[in-house]
């Protein structure tokens, strides 16, 4: 049984080294497009991630794994 569709996406701001933005995109796409992101500040490496609320646990796991390969810092989580 599937849960009802969410009314809106979860949002999360993270910071990576600017040189790692493309690498982060590659890793995220490799996780079956778990989410998508927009570059908020390319000079500071701030990214806005959007993903389904039903996949919060998977996104948390992805960020931990990515953090083993590069610096990934949570900057702001709206609503938390």
The domains of the chain are located at 20-76
pLDDT of residue 75: 94
State the pairing for strand pair 72-76/35-41: unpaired
Segments of the chain scoring below 50 in pLDDT:
none
CA dist., res. 8 & res. 15, Å (int)? 23
User: Edge-to-edge strand order for the sheet containing 35-41?
Assistant: 35-41, 46-51, 10-16, 72-76
pLDDT of residue 17: 98
pLDDT of residue 29: 93
């Amino acid at each position: 049984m599937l849960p009802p569709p969410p009314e809106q996406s979860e949002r999360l701001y993270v910071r990576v080294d600017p040189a790692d933005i493309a690498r982060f995109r590659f890793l995220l796409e490799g996780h079956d497009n778990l989410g998508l992101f927009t570059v908020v500040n390319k000079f500071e490496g701030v990214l806005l991630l959007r993903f389904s609320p039903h996949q919060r646990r998977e996104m948390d796991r992805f960020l931990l794994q990515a953090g083993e390969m590069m610096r990934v810092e949570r900057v702001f989580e709206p609503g938390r």
